[in-house]
Amino acid sequence: MAGRNARGWQAVFSAHPARTVVSAFALVIALGTVALMLPAASADGSVTSPLTALFTATSAVCVTGLVVVDTAEHWSTFGELLILALIQVGGFGIMTMASLLALLVSGRLRLRMQLTAAAETKSLGLGDVRRVLLGVAGCTLIVELAVGAFLALRLRFGYDLGYGEALYSGVFHSISAFNNAGFGLHGDSITRYAQDVWITLPIAVAVILGGLGFPVLLELLRHRNRRRQTGLRNWTLHTRLTLVTTAALLVVGTVLTCLLEWTNPATLGAFDWGQKLMNGFFYSAMSRTAGFNSIDMGALHASTLLFTCTLMFIGGGSAGTAGGIKVTTFSVLAAAMAAEVRGEPNSTVMGRRLAPHALRQALTVALLGIGLVIAATLALLTVTKAPAEAVLFEAVSAFGTVGLSTGITADIPVAGQLILILLMFIGRLGPITLVSSLALRERARRYQLPEERPVIG
């Protein structure tokens, strides 16, 4: 009987690889919670409360960055390393990590592991899995080491930190940045480095690269090694959409941040024009997925918080370390709207016609995300007295796994923190699970019902 039950569970997870991904993330969060409760993980040697440990572990594994305790003050070096390990595992992808280890140890992958790895990395087919796994590992290692080394050198020779301290801080912030986690070793994030372009720019570059998604990074690397295949026309539509939309959102975010906060003495107003542009760009890059901040978040205008919610909800690229509904989802919806306004029967973008099921999936993901954020915001408003705009900002930040906060996270009651934990988990895994489930459920209908058009608008 036990053998039958085991085979039954294996069949369920093999048929729905996304379930395996969700279960693996939940298991790692549970293990991380237990580890963070150990006395050795706290700075004063005490046992961290289960809720604080669960919130921190979820935020780290889901690469969000929201915290209820100060990372540098509450956690010991061992605790910080635990958080860093959870960030790396969560950002890299738990099933991707497991598949890579199996590939390195045995040199082969079983079908079930190939399916789960393909679901998490958005591989085009099972034949791609081995190449994708090695490519993801290579991209991660190269970017994190390069940015970590650059930051370490800057901290050593620009701020006179010891070699060990500079290396530790540089590597920590590099891993946190590339995985779009937003965890920092300072209570003020990186506001102390707001005027140092040699700190803010490398972190922004790491965040942007991680937010593009591994499929885009791997395609860019492949085409870089093929001299004959250069230019946008030879890239896949996914890559082109991701790059163009990311660039557009970065520009729009920078312009709006500078326009709205240019004269605010508590944010950009204290900088010269060059530093204003740099910090505006940095804020634009962070607000879509990362969570580092170089300006006081609590001093932002309500208008800035509102458009930031839009950027956080959109997020970054698919199959990467970013959250949100993803830039391709946003692009597909924008293309559908443009086609409808023009009266065209098909949605087209960059010389390609979009498949109807892609439009349905994009609409489903976006509407469910909106509904989830609204429901969570209403629930949070019933348990906290914080301003509505701050609560909405917190909810969108958790769903988009961004990690930016106006400073109310630690003051939210227990019920509210549990809501945020659930939002972070769904925000990290919801799009993967939902789209995979929709794809598996897709089937051809052998008949068509009579057509009728209800009144719209």
Whether pLDDT at 139 is above 80: yes
Whether pLDDT at 133 is above 80: no
- pLDDT for position 128: 58
Q: 352 - beta bridge partners?
A: 349
**C-beta of residue 219 within 8 angstroms of C-beta of residue 101:** no
Least confident of 12-21, 35-44, 341-350, 391-400: 12-21
Whether pLDDT at 165 is above 80: yes
Residue 145 lies in a domain: yes
- pLDDT for position 435: 58
CA dist 315 and 176 (Å) reads 17
Residue 256 lies in a domain: yes
Report, as an integer, the average pLDDT of 56-63: 94
Mean pLDDT over the full length of the chain: 84
Report, as an integer, the average pLDDT of 382-386: 92
φ/ψ of 418, rounded to 5, equals -65, -35
Report, as an integer, the average pLDDT of 133-151: 88
- pLDDT for position 104: 46
Residue 322 lies in a domain: yes
What total number of domains does the chain contain?
A: 1
pLDDT tens, residue by residue, 300-319: 999 999 999 999 999 988 77
pLDDT band, very low/low/confident/very high, at 134 (cuts 50, 70, 90): confident
Alpha carbon distance, N-terminus to C-terminus of the chain: 57
Domain enclosing residue 424, as ranges? 15-438
- pLDDT for position 323: 84
**C-beta of residue 396 within 8 angstroms of C-beta of residue 313:** yes
CA dist 409 and 366 (Å) reads 25
Residue 374 lies in a domain: yes
Residue 362 lies in a domain: yes
CA atoms within 13 A on the CB side of 383: 16
- Residue among 297, 324, 313 at smallest CA distance from 404: 297
* R_g over Cα of the chain: 22
> Could you give the angle at which helices 17-36 and 77-92 cross, rounded to 10 degrees?
180
Least confident of 9-13, 21-25, 208-212, 315-319: 9-13
Q: Regarding predicted confidence, which is higher, 226 or 21?
A: 21
Residue 373 lies in a domain: yes
Whether pLDDT at 100 is above 50: no
Whether pLDDT at 255 is above 80: yes
How would you class 268 by CB atoms within 10 Å of its CB: exposed for 0-12, middle for 13-18, buried for 19 or more? Answer: buried
Whether pLDDT at 8 is above 70: no
Whether pLDDT at 95 is above 70: no
Residue 451 lies in a domain: no
Taking CA atoms, 232 is separated from 71, 218, 252, 358, in Å, by 42, 15, 22, 22
Report, as an integer, the average pLDDT of 244-264: 95
Residue 359 lies in a domain: yes
Helix (H, G, I), strand (E, B) or coil at 42: strand
CA atoms within 13 A on the CB side of 363: 9
